[in-house]
Chain A
């Protein structure tokens, strides 16, 4: 079968990279400020706050002055825990102007699980060696325990407190660190991805080749995530072009706000992960879009999580009546270790999918300019086109390493090639991502992608859609790896015989019977900051007997956590002396 195609190695090269428009992000800020372009923030009532980049630059320079006066020195890491608001770009660029390295972290959820949040945040602050944490008044009240855990030398300050400094504008070099972002990996060991100005600008230059004339952006993506930060905010500065930002919680509360903003702003580009397209299908009503059309939307970029062809088809059909062009659905692939973008499907062409082990896998296209992708086998050799292996990436936007973690860096970077840990294949010049290498389930000598089992649960009534993880494990009395599947049951659904029905569905679809099929309460499975289910973490917790339903929101727990965090915060500030790290 296809002997000629088999002989072609699975190696793809993107077109040559056009020279980046700027040497550093500060040069981009200067050009954006001079251009008259604005950043627009939408609130829940869709009211606009319009801020020209010239004003953001001025406020950033004053904020930088405040940082320098506080004692921030070149190369210091400044963690930012801020909502989607003008303070974010002010603090981000202000940190750069002060010669520091901004480290965006995610803010706490309203009424969320504070104790777990504090632990994760403290780990990230420690991992990047943050010397200062910058927040706003509302969020600062909730950060005490995280600050106490990590003890940044200069404590926690608000943008407001620091914004009245004397204007300060230091320069930057392309080789200076521009930001540290955390990989969407395990919460137990978050890895700080260190990116230089040159990395970010190379990736922005590559993305810009897809934008077409006069791009207009809309995004609800969080600004502490690579796709929202680099792919939207920094891209808008570097272009420069108009961008409208929606706080993610308002999108979640009312997804129609996203599509309405695209229509009203006549946006041409708006990226989102697969789930956002699914959520919109379910929750946007025709009345929400009355009199509005989506015809200007040329790039509905879909990335950051596995892409379901069925969702794309339904989205295209659902919104065709509102002028949506199905060819605007552009699957993309990337990861924070490569700044952001690695491959793009060709814009303007309907998406492609192929069957892979009985599943439909969507093409994420070809490497973006300057980037090379190859598929390697178990011993590191490049496999042939059509064969599955690990996806490796090389290019000018690939990090040089995790901040302060040479061991972790050596595990993923060799000779300039980044091991993504993802599995995929190359077919007709395009990349198909089909799973995570580490999560392969090996049963009786055969490799299985866990998705195969998880998808078998789709028709089972009472299972929460898409909320299942499958993995292999060694039972204490077993002879080899067995299959376990953990899933969340529907809200209020009956549990009776659900586990047995799941076993039956899996064996019917895959021929493999899970030894363990475990129904869990909604929200129990661990997820990354961007909402992806974490199979490895779920497996670890389950094997340790530690997989519990979400901590109940009881008055005592929250009052206790809050009191504790406030006291800890006071202690952290009083106890913080110079030089303490």
Chain B
């Protein structure tokens, strides 16, 4: 499994207390119902884990789990990590 997706699932399960499934096609807001603090927890968790920075502008490209995972992967490649 993709490492970023695994980390997203870990954060949902361990940090956000989410007991349901987290699938790539799930929308962060509509399906997983993240509130602003939970979203911050997720974003900062990913940034810290992969040593990348997700700028506010990135938000425009992120709607689903798959979008977020793709963004993390792209930032990791750019950072050479």
Contacts and interface: CB of A to CB of B under 8 A. Distances in A.
A111 B30 contact: no
A212 interface: no
Contact of B17 (A142, A250, A254, A491): A491
A553 B39 contact: yes
Interface stretch (A2-10, A11-19, A264-272, A555-563): A555-563
B70 interface: no
A249 B15 CA distance: 13
Nearest to A521: B33
B48 interface: yes
A553 B34 CA distance: 10
Given A491-B20, A522-B35, A553-B28, A111 B56 contact: yes
A492 B40 contact: no
Contacts of A522: 33-35, 38
Interface in B39-67: 39-41, 43-45, 47-48, 51, 54-63
B16 to A, nearest CB: 7
Nearest to A252: B41
Interface residues of B, number: 37
Contacts of B59: 110-111, 553, 558, 562
B39 A44 contact: no
A250 B39 contact: no
A169 to B, nearest CB: 36
A468 B57 CA distance: 33
Contacts of B30: 552
A249 B44 contact: yes
Contact of A110 (B15, B32, B40): B40
Contact of A113 (B20, B36, B55, B58): B36
B2 interface: no
A492 B18 contact: yes
Contacts of B18: 491-492
Interface residues of A, number: 32
Interface in A509-523: 521-523
B1 interface: no
A112 interface: yes
B39 A111 contact: yes
B43 to A, nearest CB: 5
A108 B47 CA distance: 17
Interface in A41-88: 44-45
Contact of A111 (B33, B43, B48, B51): B43
A82 to B, nearest CB: 16
A523 B35 contact: yes
B63 A253 contact: no
Contacts of A249: 40, 44
Contacts of A492: 18-20, 32-33
Residue in B38, B45, B59 whose Cβ sees the most chain A Cβ within 10 Å: B59
Residue in B16, B18, B56, B61 whose Cβ sees the most chain A Cβ within 10 Å: B56
A109 interface: yes
Contacts of A554: 29, 63
A577 interface: no
B36 to A, nearest CB: 5
Given A111-B56, A492-B18, A553-B63, A253 B35 contact: no
Contacts of B47: 44
A109 B62 CA distance: 15
Nearest to A550: B35
A138 interface: yes
Contact of B44 (A45, A110, A138, A559): A110
Contact of B60 (A283, A491, A550, A562): A562
A36 interface: no
A559 B56 contact: no
A249 B16 CA distance: 14
Contacts of B58: 111
Interface string A230-257: 0000000000000000000110111000
Contacts of B33: 491-492, 521-523
A249 B44 CA distance: 7
B55 to A, nearest CB: 7
Interface in A90-113: 108-113
A562 B27 CA distance: 21
B39 A253 contact: no
A252 B17 CA distance: 14
A141 B48 contact: no
Pairs of residues from A and B, 6 with the lowest C-beta to C-beta distance, nearest first: A523-B35, A253-B44, A44-B48, A492-B20, A552-B29, A559-B60
8 contacts: A109-B40, A249-B40, A253-B45, A550-B29, A553-B28, A553-B63, A558-B59, A562-B57
Given A108-B56, A283-B14, A554-B63, 17 more contacts: A44-B44, A44-B47, A44-B48, A110-B56, A110-B59, A111-B36, A111-B39, A111-B56, A112-B40, A249-B44, A250-B44, A253-B15, A282-B17, A492-B18, A550-B35, A553-B29, A555-B60
